[in-house]
Amino acid sequence: MTKPPGADGPSPPPGRLARVNALSRLYRDHWRDLCRYLAATFGQGPPEPEDVAQLAFARVAAYDDIHALRNPKAFLWRTAYNIAISEKRSLSVRRRRADDVRDVFFAAAGDEFTPERVLAAKEQVATVHAVLAAMPAKRRRILVLNRIDGHSFAEIARRMGLSQTAVKKHVARAMIDLDAALAVD
């Protein structure tokens, strides 16, 4: 018995069906090779090759007209490469920031935690907290995104709809405020 047209539910529009098929084919043909390439180029993580590949496929899927791409595979691989580089850079910045915090607030090997040093560190933290609380919200947010979360000026500018110059000025002003407050103590 033959089912009448539309008996299995509405069929997707032809353009959408072609897009879904193109993405499925791209995924099926390149997922495994892309993960291997990322693992060979950047190591097993972090970031994990599979996570980077997934993000790359999501960005390709978000692209309005996949058929307009001259070479979808090249676009996918370049996107994955760029994501991996960006993630590696962010991880490096976060590690450096963690090292800076450790160097500032924790004793070097062989140093002792004296009551005076503990008190001085608590006072510094209170000063930083007070300066951050007094900052305009936008400046504080930009400082946290840059110095704590490790985002670049360009990423912050895109995210907040500002120019890179404005972001740099906010970070510079915030650091001047922090340095001035800590120099007084």
Q: What is the pLDDT of residue 1?
A: 47
CATH number of the 111-184 domain: 1.10.10.10
Residues of the chain scoring pLDDT < 50: 1, 3-6
State pTM to two decimals: 0.47
Q: What is the pLDDT of residue 103?
A: 64
> Residue 155 and residue 47: Cα distance in Å, rounded?
18
Q: What is the pLDDT of residue 111?
A: 63
Q: What is the tens place of the pLDDT at every residue in 120-147?
A: 888 888 988 999 999 999 999 999 898 8
Smallest Cα–Cα separation from 66: which of 11, 14, 15? Answer: 15
> Residue 88 and residue 90: Cα distance in Å, rounded?
5
- C-alpha distances out from residue 36 to 44, 73, 87, 109, 122, Å: 9, 15, 17, 41, 48
The residues, any chain, with a CB within 8 Å of residue 19's CB and separated by 6 or more, are 66, 67
> Residue 65 and residue 19: Cα distance in Å, rounded?
8
Q: What is the pLDDT of residue 80?
A: 92
Dihedral of CA 48/49/52/53: which sign? negative
